[in-house]
Structures are given as structure tokens and as C-alpha cells.
Amino acid sequence: MAGKHLQLTDELQEQASLFAAGALPESERREYARHLEEDDCAICQNEAREFMSTANLLIFRGPLESPSPKVKQRLMEQVRAGATTRRASVAKPRRWLEWTAGLTAVAASAALVFVLSDNVQLRQLTDSLSNRIAQLEAQLGDQRIRFAALTSPDVRVVNLAGQGENAKAAGRIFWDQSKRRWLFYVQNLAQAPSDKSYQLWFVPKTGNPLSATVFNTTITGSAEIEIQVPESIDELKAAAVTTEPVGGVPQPTGAFALLGLIE
């Protein structure tokens, strides 16, 4: 191959495509590279540049491997056989079409991988949302059951008012007498110091107070506790919360934080 070419032919397109694909035998590759550089053939340079640009797209999908000697031999045989039967037209050569189809297939495969990956992420998101919806539905069911219990005729409401330094605090007991259960709610009651606890008391009409529970509030000053009322307690005159040493005491010793009379 010597000198510059005046027009593009199928054979020149074949050489440019095979050069870009790395399918030329070594001796022909060296000669073609020399032709591009030393002969300064604009036609071959443009074709080679176009095919190399297309080949570079494939690099982003994965590394290209040099064809084996057997593959190179088959390519050259097909090129020579096809060159004797094709018309000298502007249509792209068959080998170039096949090579382009290969690039298209690789790109389509990569796109399919991305789509499948997106589908996996979508399924994971869908599963996560479904689980969250199931949790919320379960919580809603629990709230409905609790609401029904709180509004039952068997439920007695006891309000506790804040005392002393806790005047802004408030408490409420929903006393399910049939199930002997208290649902105790507190709000605006500051957290007890690290060496202190709040203690809720059953205050019977006769006898000493009995500890119902020991607790502390959250950082927002709230608490929600379910308490079983002992069988030994028949009648109560009050419910009270005192501030006691951490862990609680057998009998109240500290100041009242909340107090509610039971009529």
C-alpha cells in the first residue's frame, strides 16, 4: 500500500474496519499503520478514525481481546471472498456490518444489565415499602384495639395533676376494671436526675400505698406504661407519682410529682 487514495472503496473500508478491530495480520497491520502515518492518506485516516471511535465505545463496556490467529484467518478469508462479489458502492461492507452488529449486541447486553440492576433495586424498594406498610397496618390495628378498649364502658379515667415544681405536668390513667389493667400516660414531666426515679403508687382506701411501677420519662417528658392491677386491691382512693431514689422504694418518701383522686 503506497501513496494517497483518491476515493473510498469497499476494500479500503474493510482494511480500516479490520485495523480498528485488531483483526489484521501483524505484517499488514504494520504496513497499514505506516500508510496512515507516512503516506498521509486522508481517506484512510478518516475511515480508520471513524472505526476507532466506534471501537472506543466498546472499551467503556469492557476490555477488547485480540482475536486468535484462527479467527484472524477466517476474517481475512471472508474479506477476500466477499471482495470479489460485492459491487463498488457506497454501502458499508458486510464485515463492517457484522462487526457493527457485534458492537450493538454488546451495547444492548450492557443496557440489559443496567435495566435488570434497576429492576432489582426497584423490587428491593417495593419490598421495603410493602414491609413498612404492613408494619403501619399492624400498628393501626393495635391502635384501633386500644382505642376500642379505652372507650369501653368498663374503662374508668383518672386524671393526675402536676404538683410543686411539676405543675405543668399531667398524667392520665385508663383503668380497665374488667381486665384489671391500667394504661398510664404522662406528659410534660421532666426526666428525673440520674440518681432518681419516678414511682407510681396505688393508694388504697385502707392500708399503705403499693408500688405500681418505677419509671422515667423520655427527653420530651412523656411516658406510656401498661400496668396490671393486683387482685389484692379492691378499692382505691388515689393514684400518685413521687420522686424516689433510683430503682424505687417500698414506701413513698419523696415529694409528689403527680396526684389524682379516684372518686
Stretch 144-158: mean pLDDT: 69
| pLDDT at 93 (0 to 100) | 47
Stretch 245-257: mean pLDDT: 96
pTM of structure: 0.47
- Which of the four pLDDT bands, split at 50, 70 and 90, describes residue 117? low
Please check the confidence at residue 178 and state whether its pLDDT lies above 80. yes
- CATH T-level assignment (fold) for domain 155-261: Immunoglobulin-like (2.60.40)
CA gap 129, 117 in Å, rounded: 18
The lowest-confidence range among 28-32, 124-128, 164-168, 211-215 is: 124-128
HSE on the CB side for 165, CA within 13 Å?
Answer: 7
Q: Helix (H, G, I), strand (E, B), or coil: what is residue 118?
A: helix
Please check the confidence at residue 176 and state whether its pLDDT lies above 60. yes
Are the C-beta atoms of 169 and 186 separated by less than 8 Å? yes
HSE on the CB side for 170, CA within 13 Å?
Answer: 4
Are the C-beta atoms of 180 and 231 separated by less than 8 Å? yes
Are the C-beta atoms of 207 and 230 separated by less than 8 Å? no
What single-letter amino acid sits at 243?
A: T
| pLDDT at 169 (0 to 100) | 97
For the chain, the domains span: 10-108, 155-261
